[in-house]
């Protein structure tokens, strides 16, 4: 690209120094704008984030997020006062749906972060050191991958006692093997690159090589997986709530709300339909973003 005429101030110097990086970002941003799906996904996610983190201040009935009863208005369909209707205790479903957004987004973040971190570290170590370490870690990963996660999560949550925290823990524990395998495969190939060899030659420690040279280059694959996983984490958490081993009432959580609403079908259709719609929107947004990101980072997959 064009050589910057003169580097002025720290901003200019920074730009001059990181020209390659900026160029790469600019190209990424261009491809991002080209893919309409990721724009829509991004818009949905930004909307959800705003709702999640401001929602608790503007919901019409903040008290309804806890345990309150208004018997006189129980089980009323959507009206202007209660946009999403009221539940079996007369609580405003709209308030509770909005309230639950924050819970779900935070829980999803924690699950993906914890699970991802465990997986990345284990996978990085396995891939970089190879040999026996690799064998041991990867065989454990294989075993974990053999087991459909929700069975394990179900068992763990049931054993620890049903609560949203335990559900998050259980999901984090079952979440890492996918990352471990992904990172291990990436590290195996990146390990042989010349710049890693160069770092090794100047005497960089394995930790430095792994965390400063190898892992940053796996980042795009990890980001794509994480953005798609985020939706599934939210989904699985709600699933555990739905079964009854996740969040416990009166905490507003989408899965629990859907499961409680089932008791009032077919009359009280709004009770589970509308929170479910919010959940679908969340997962859909993250999947769209992930799909778009994959196009950007791996153009071969689409074109």
Partner 1 sequence: MGLRYYLIRRLLLIIPVLIGLSIVTFALSHIVPGDPVRLAAGPQATAEQIHKLEEEFGLDKPLPVQYLNYMQGVLRGNLGQSMMNRHPVAMDLRRYFPATFELVVVSTILGVVIGLPMAMAAAVFRDKWPDQVSRIVALSSISMPVFWLGMVLQLILCMTWHLLPISGRFDPRVPFPPNVTGMLLVDSLLAGDLHKFGIALKHITLPAFCQSLIAIALITRLLRADILEVMQRDFVTMARAMGLPERVVLFKYVLKNALIATVAMLGFLVGWELSGSVMIETVFDWPGVGLYAVKSAMTLDFQPIMGITLFVGLLFTLVNLLVDFSYGVIDPRIRYG
| 92 bridge partner residues | 86
How many residues in the shown chain lie near partner 1 by CB under 8 A? 48
Please say whether the beta carbons of 216 and 186 come within 8 A. no
Q: Does 293 bind partner 1 (CB under 8 A)?
A: no
Q: Would you say 59 or 245 has its CB closer to partner 1?
A: 245
Q: Is 118 in the site for partner 1 (CB under 8 A)?
A: no
How many other C-beta atoms lie within 10 A of the C-beta of residue 208? 12
Q: CA of 197: how far to CAs of 187, 188, 202, in Å?
A: 13, 13, 9
Question: Which of 55, 123, 149, 178 is the binder for partner 1 (CB under 8 A)?
Answer: 149
- Which residues are within 8 A (CB) of 33 and not within 5 positions of it... i.e. 6 or more apart? 39
Cα separation, 213 vs 199, in Å, equals: 8
Q: Output the smallest distance, CB 189 to partner 1, in A.
A: 20
- Say if residue 303 is exposed, middle or buried (CB neighbours under 10 Å; 0-12, 13-18, 19+): exposed
* Shortest distance, position 14 Cβ to partner 1, whole Å: 38
156 touching partner 1, by CB under 8 A: yes
**Mapping DSSP to helix (H, G, I), strand (E, B) and coil, where does residue 92 land?**
strand
Regarding 284 and contact with partner 1 (CB under 8 A), the answer is: yes
Q: Which of 16, 37, 113, 188 binds partner 1 (CB under 8 A)?
A: 37
Nearer Cβ to partner 1, position 185 or 199? Answer: 185
Choosing from 45, 125, 144, 168, the residue that interacts with partner 1 (CB under 8 A) is: 144
| Least distance in angstroms from the C-beta of 123 to partner 1 | 18
Within positions 182 to 201, which residues make up the interface with partner 1, using CB under 8 A? none
Residues whose CB is less than 8 angstroms from the CB of residue 206 and which lie 6 or more positions away in sequence, other chains included: 128, 129
Give the integer Cα–Cα distance in Å for 80 and 94: 11
Kindly tell me which residue out of 167, 218, 238, 256 binds partner 1, with binding defined by CB under 8 A.
238
Choose among 53, 57, 59, 58: nearest CA to 102.
53
**For partner 1, which stretch binds (CB under 8 A), given 9-17, 93-101, 111-119, 232-240?**
232-240
Alpha-carbon dihedral 191, 192, 193, 196, rounded to 10 degrees? 50
Does residue 235 touch partner 1 according to CB under 8 A? yes
Interface pick for partner 1 out of 222, 283, 293, 296 (rule CB under 8 A): 283
Binding residue (CB under 8 A) for partner 1 from 147, 206, 212, 216: 147
* Binding status of residue 208 toward partner 1 by CB under 8 A: no
User: Using CA atoms, how far apart are residues 153 and 244, in angstroms rounded to an integer?
Assistant: 13
Give the nearest distance from C-beta 146 to partner 1 in angstroms: 5
Name which position in 92, 229, 253, 291 contacts partner 1 (CB under 8 A): 291
Say whether residue 45 binds partner 1 (CB under 8 A).
no
| Buried-state track 160-185, b at ≥16 Cβ within 10 A, e below 16 | eebebebbbbbbbbbbbbbbbbbbbe
Told to check if 35 binds partner 1 by CB under 8 A, we report no
If one asks whether residue 265 binds partner 1 (CB under 8 A), the answer comes out as: yes
Number of helices followed by number of strands (H, E) in the chain: 12, 0
Chain residues that interact with partner 1, rule: CB under 8 A: 37, 139-140, 142-144, 146-152, 154-161, 231, 235, 238-239, 242-245, 255, 258, 262, 265-266, 269, 272-273, 276, 279-280, 283-284, 286-288, 291, 301-302
């Amino acid at each position: 690209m064009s050589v910057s005429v003169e580097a002025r101030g720290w901003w200019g110097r920074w730009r001059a120094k990181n020209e390659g990086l900026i160029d790469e970002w600019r190209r990424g941003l261009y491809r991002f704008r080209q893919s309409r799906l990721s724009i829509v996904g991004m818009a949905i996610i930004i909307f959800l984030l705003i709702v999640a983190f401001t929602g608790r201040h503007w919901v019409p009935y903040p008290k309804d997020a806890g345990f309150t009863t208004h018997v006189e208005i129980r089980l009323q369909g959507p009206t202007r006062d209660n946009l999403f209707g009221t539940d079996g205790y007369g609580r405003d479903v709209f308030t509770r749906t909005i309230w639950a957004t924050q819970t779900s987004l935070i829980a999803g973040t924690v699950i993906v972060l914890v699970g991802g971190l465990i997986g990345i570290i284990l996978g990085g170590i396995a891939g970089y050191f190879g040999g026996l370490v690799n064998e041991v870690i990867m065989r454990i990963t294989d075993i974990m991958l053999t087991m459909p996660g929700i069975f394990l999560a179900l068992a763990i949550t049931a054993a620890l006692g049903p609560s949203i925290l335990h559900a998050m823990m259980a999901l984090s524990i079952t979440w890492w093997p996918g990352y471990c395998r992904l990172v291990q495969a990436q590290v195996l190939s990146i390990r042989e690159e010349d710049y890693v060899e160069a770092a090794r030659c100047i005497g960089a420690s394995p930790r430095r090589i792994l965390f400063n040279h190898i892992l940053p280059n796996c980042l795009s694959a990890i980001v794509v997986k994480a953005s798609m996983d985020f939706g599934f984490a939210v989904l699985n958490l709600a699933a555990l709530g739905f079964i009854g081993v996740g969040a416990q009432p009166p905490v507003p959580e989408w899965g629990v709300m859907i499961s409680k609403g089932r008791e009032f079908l077919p009359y009280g259709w709004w009770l589970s339909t509308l929170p479910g719609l919010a959940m679908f929107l969340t997962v859909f947004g993250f999947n769209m973003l992930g799909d778009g990101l994959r196009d950007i980072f791996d153009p071969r997959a689409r074109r």
